[in-house]
Structure 1
């Protein structure tokens, strides 16, 4: 079994561990987080600054296990750093997720439990496709995106780079969501959203 390092030891990492263990493809060698003093999970905590060169000597694979809400910057910077040191960033798929053989997913993306990626969809690099989210046919999701729990992207939806789609939000068929957008939880989006827009629920 190949070894893998997780970069980020917060709440999202706990879900990532569960997904990795369900897949049975990788053995977790440790969790890298320079901001933590203690780890809740039963793995080695590596909290040194800039440990990349040292770790890369013995381990090839890495997953970014930092979560993403309003901004993708932390995940994007980690992605660039790991690429600089030539880590392999595999696609991680839960045993309980479904990915059509006609879909395409790029490196570093994780498909969480019971997520579904339907035919002729494409998902970019370093994305989180979270639990019970639905990516329908012909959907395009850019790089460094988070499609949160229970979100639904209906057929032909396009999502730009570095965008967050909140839990249980539904994007209507064929709509386009721009780059750097934040769409709050529990919304129905039936219009195109331009780059950089934040859409919140009305109180």
Structure 2
């Protein structure tokens, strides 16, 4: 019997997550939690059944949860939701696309989602509640901190270290063996060739 999973956040990332969950065929989506104004609406046929204040209600039954909102400026909201779920006894699901390549020699943290056609190479480890999006590449021996978001087609090259809450935009590239401090934002299309101190913000300029 499939395990029940509740999704927290009903936006665009939620739709992507639903598709991965359906493909993985490990969990049964029991409902979505979002803002009160969205209750009753549906995402890909799954109903928004309540808001975030009801996490405690569903966590009591020892169900699984996945935070299905992306990195909105910072990871703060995702982190707060994860802490609330854990405090109430809920479990954070690990959702892995069957169309991704994930090395058996890697370690994926709880609450993390790996999208279609992503590559997670040998020796990689991720913290909790990371997003590794469609076609992202995480090369050998990379370490991702908690709440990192690696966007579509981004590449993190071998042996790099990313701190907690780092955002890497679509088609960005991080060179091998770099240290990226916590809460850095690397914009879409940016190539990074040197270490970054915490809270750095790099934007692609045409």
TM-score by length of 1: 0.96
Task: Give yes or no for contact 2:168–2:187 (8 Å, CA) kept in 1.
Answer: yes
Partner of 1:12: 13
- Equivalent position to 1:147, from 142, 146, 150: 150
Rounded Cα–Cα distance in structure 1 between residues aligned with 2:19 and 2:51: 25
- Equivalent position to 1:113, from 112, 116, 121: 116
Does 2:99 match 1:93?
A: no
Deviations 1:177-200 (A, max 9, x none): 110100000011111111011011
Partner of 1:190: 193
Partner of 2:4: 3
Deviations 1:134-160 (A, max 9, x none): 000010100011000000011111111
Deviations 1:25-78 (A, max 9, x none): 001000011242423331121234511222123451110001114211111110
Partner of 1:102: 105
Task: Give yes or no for contact 1:9–1:66 (8 Å, CA) kept in 2.
Answer: yes
Does 2:22 match 1:21?
A: yes
- The structure-2 alpha-carbon separation of the partners of 1:40 and 1:26, relative to structure 1 and needing over 3 Å to count, comes to closer
Task: Detail structure 1 runs of 4+ shifted over 4 Å in the superposition.
Answer: none
Q: How many matched pairs?
A: 203
SS at match of 1:54: helix
What is the CA RMSD across the aligned residues, in angstroms?
Answer: 1.3
- Equivalent position to 1:201, from 197, 201, 204: 204
- Equivalent position to 2:133, from 119, 122, 130: 130
Unaligned runs of 5+ in 2: none
Rounded Cα–Cα distance in structure 1 between residues aligned with 2:132 and 2:6: 19
Task: Give yes or no for contact 1:19–1:113 (8 Å, CA) kept in 2.
Answer: yes
- The more displaced of 120-129 and 65-74 is 65-74
- The structure-2 alpha-carbon separation of the partners of 1:48 and 1:140, relative to structure 1 and needing over 3 Å to count, comes to closer
- Equivalent position to 1:75, from 69, 74, 78: 78
SS at match of 1:105: coil
Rounded Cα–Cα distance in structure 1 between residues aligned with 2:130 and 2:60: 26
- The structure-2 alpha-carbon separation of the partners of 1:117 and 1:140, relative to structure 1 and needing over 3 Å to count, comes to same
